[in-house]
Each structure stands twice: as structure tokens, then as C-alpha cells.
Amino acid sequence: MTITTAARTVTDILQPRNVLLAGMLGIGIAAAGDWTGIPWGLLGALCAGIIPAAYIEWERKRGTWGDRHVVDRTKRSPIFVVILASIGLGSLAMVLGRAPTGILIAMLALWAMTIGLLAINTVWKISVDSAVASAVVAMLAVVHSPWWLLAYVLTAAVCWSRVALTYHTVAQTLAGASLGAATAAAFLLA
């Protein structure tokens, strides 16, 4: 397997949609204290990851972007708007449905992270994939166990893959990972 093939495999498996699906389920379970958190986690994953990924795919099929990576930072703003709206509506549904506080806080952390990504992206390209991978690991470490910090090896793999595929520089992936960890920790430890 070539380095490019390995990097493509890592970036495809650990793309934000997949990381959020697994992570938000874990956060939902922790927030509720049992399996009843699974539907809340699924709602979080739907709004934070699946709907934005579907929007990117829809735009890709229309010819707006070449692939899901949207490497041209000047074309990313609409994605961030969709993410913010989707997370916002999902958070509202959680408030109205009386979701466990922990999953709502996780959604707000992702919303704040997206604001940061959008702001930075207006002047400099930052890695969304690295930010999401880092945020989810930080959230799982806070709500479950510090042992989850060992999963930062997966965040490092995401960062490596983005650089190996020349989608980002090392600085852009480190900035994304730092923003993800900082926003997640700030909300979840508050």
C-alpha cells in the first residue's frame, strides 16, 4: 500500500461524518447515563455530521466542488453556514425535547468550534477534519474517561493524512486540532 493510498483510507474512514456518528453516540450515552442517550446522540450526529456531509455531496454532484474535501478555502463559507444552521436547529430540538444537558453542551461546543473555523477560514485555511477528530476525542475524555485521550493517536492519523494528501499543511492541521480540543474542553469543563 502506498503512502497516498494509506492516507486516503485514513481520511475517508475518519472523516467528520463518521467520527461524529461514533462520538456523539458515546456522548449521548454518557449524558443520559444509559442507552436512552442513543437517540440524542444520533440526533447530534445527524445535525453536526450527516446533514453537512449530505449538503457537501449534493453540491459536489451539482458540480460546485470536485470532491468532499473542498480544498479551496474561498468556497467553504456555505458549508459552515449549513453546519451552523443544522447544529442550531438540532440544539433547539434538544432543548425542546429536554435532552440530557451533556449532549446539548457537546452540540454547543461544536457550534462554537464551527464559528471559530468559519472566522479563521476567512483569512487562512484550517483543517476541519483535524478539528472534528480532536473535539470528539476531547469530549469523550471529559464525559467518559481520561483514557479516551489515547484516541488522540487517531487525531494524529487524521492530521497526517490531510498533510500527506496535500490538502493541508502541518500548521493547518495542528491549528484545527488545537481549536477542536480548546472549544470542546472549554464547554465541557465549564
This prediction's pTM: 0.94
> What are 64's three cell numbers?
460546485
Is the pLDDT at 143 greater than 90, yes or no?
A: no
Q: Is the sign of the CA dihedral 150, 156, 161, 164 positive or negative? A: negative
With vertex at residue 79, the alpha carbon angle to CA 71 and CA 94, rounded to the nearest 5 degrees, is 140
Is the pLDDT at 36 greater than 90, yes or no?
A: yes
Say which residue, 158 or 145, is predicted with more confidence: 158
> Whose CA is closest to 104, among 51, 146, 48?
48
Q: For residues 151 and 177, what is the distance between their CA atoms, to the nearest angstrom?
A: 13
Is the pLDDT at 190 greater than 70, yes or no?
A: no
Q: Are 47 and 86 in contact (CB under 8 A)?
A: yes
Average pLDDT for the chain: 94
| pLDDT recorded at residue 127 | 97
